[in-house]
Amino acid sequence: MAIGAAVFMTLVLLVFVLKVVEGVLFQPANTVRAFFQALSDRNADAASVLVVPDPKQDLTGTDLRGGAVLKSSGYTPPTAVKLEPVIPVEDDQATVGVSYSVGGREQRVKLTLERDEQASVAGLFREWRIVKGAIGEAHVQVETADTVLVADTPASSESGMLQTYGYPGGYQVTLPDQPLLEAEPVIAYTGADRYSELGVLQPVVKATVQNEVDRQVRTFLDRCSKGTEITRESCPYPWSNYPSPDRVKIKVLSYPKCEITVSRGQVTASGTGQIRIRQPSFFGVDESTPGFTVSGGVTTMNNAVTFQYVAQ
């Protein structure tokens, strides 16, 4: 009888000790701290084992949880992480509020954790996993239809909105290096309300494009002036279809300095100039000095800026 009582008390003590160990070493707060430490270390693998994605969370867009993203200089992990008191919901569920800073911007997230039946230590201690709040959406308004880079990862926008999702932090959105456009980088923050304080990636034409477009327009106009197959569709000069082009003498008096504009990533150029036209008529030779307008699209071809005339 005494032996049985001793065994019983030993088992009770063992269970008590195990509960104490589980309560001290395997707390929700420890998982949260480990998760944010993994982000600080830019360790995507360490972060992912602490998170169980919520199957009910509708995530769309580019996934930013990969190791290449977190290791990119375009990712800013949270700093100044502060945990609020753990709030038990059930025996195997709890919530933790976390405040942190990303590039000087204060953020807060509420995390829900559950004990994971599949993750245990020595088959005795069930570890906590984050089941809600660790993966958030990040949005940026993008004024281009081209591919952009989010922490050096290619991503595409839809209807002017870049949609991504990832762990807490800031993700730099930029344009890939190209000869035509550039843009000041903006930061997308996970968890930020997509309809408030949206960053806007606004492409502008590079300063070097002006001279190149003007040079190509000048070459195009010179070709039109000397051509024998010129038509209203292929050149901007105003002349009658009679006589034949080979009997028309054209000299450019002033070349355009084009105005270059960009809208939704599409670049156009337009400018005005003046020519002198001499052409035979029933009364001898007619001479006029009309103005003209040349316009077209500006794109990149083989990584070079290209102007393409569009007839008006």
Give tens-digit pLDDT for 23-41: 444 599 999 999 999 999 9
In sequence order, the 6+-apart residues with CB closer than 8 A to the CB of 195 are none
List the alpha helices (DSSP H) in the chain: 2-25, 28-40, 44-48, 67-71, 207-226
- Per-residue pLDDT reduced to its tens digit, 106-125: 999 999 999 986 645 444 56
- Edge-first strand order for the sheet with 199-201 is 62-63, 161-166, 136-142, 199-201
Residue 239 confidence (pLDDT): 66
Q: Which domain holds residue 213?
A: 207-309
The one-letter amino acid at 227 = G
Residue 168 confidence (pLDDT): 95
Residue 167 confidence (pLDDT): 96
Q: Are residues 213 and 297 in the same domain?
A: yes
Q: Are residues 170 and 211 in the same domain?
A: no
The count of structural domains within the chain is 2
Which of 204, 238, 261 marks a domain boundary? 204
Decide: pTM greater than 0.85: no
Please confirm whether the linkage preceding 243 is cis (ω < 30° from 0).
Answer: yes
Provide the 3-class DSSP secondary structure of residue 247.
Answer: helix
- Per-residue pLDDT reduced to its tens digit, 238-271: 765 556 666 778 899 999 999 999 988 889 999 9
- CA 291/CA 302 separation, integer angstroms: 34
The one-letter amino acid at 61 = G
The 8-class DSSP code of residue 175 comes to: P
Q: Are residues 254 and 172 in the same domain?
A: no
In a domain, 194, yes or no: yes
Q: Quick count: other Cβ atoms within 10 Å of Cβ 50? A: 21
Q: Are residues 218 and 172 in the same domain?
A: no
Q: Are 40 and 47 in contact (CB under 8 A)?
A: no
In a domain, 173, yes or no: yes
Residue 13 confidence (pLDDT): 44
The one-letter amino acid at 46 = A
Q: Are residues 200 and 247 in the same domain?
A: no
The 8-class DSSP code of residue 246 comes to: G
| Portion of the chain with pLDDT greater than 70, in percent | 82
Q: What are the tokens at 99?
A: 């405040």
Q: Are residues 196 and 217 in the same domain?
A: no
In a domain, 56, yes or no: no
Q: Are residues 242 and 258 in the same domain?
A: yes
Q: Which residues in the chain land under pLDDT 70?
A: 1-26, 117-125, 145, 192-197, 227-232, 239-246
Q: Which among 235, 234, 310 is positioned nearest to 267, based on CA atoms? A: 310
Report the CATH number at residue 273: 3.10.450
In a domain, 66, yes or no: no
Rg of the chain taking only CA atoms, in angstroms: 33
Which of 188, 204, 220 marks a domain boundary? 204
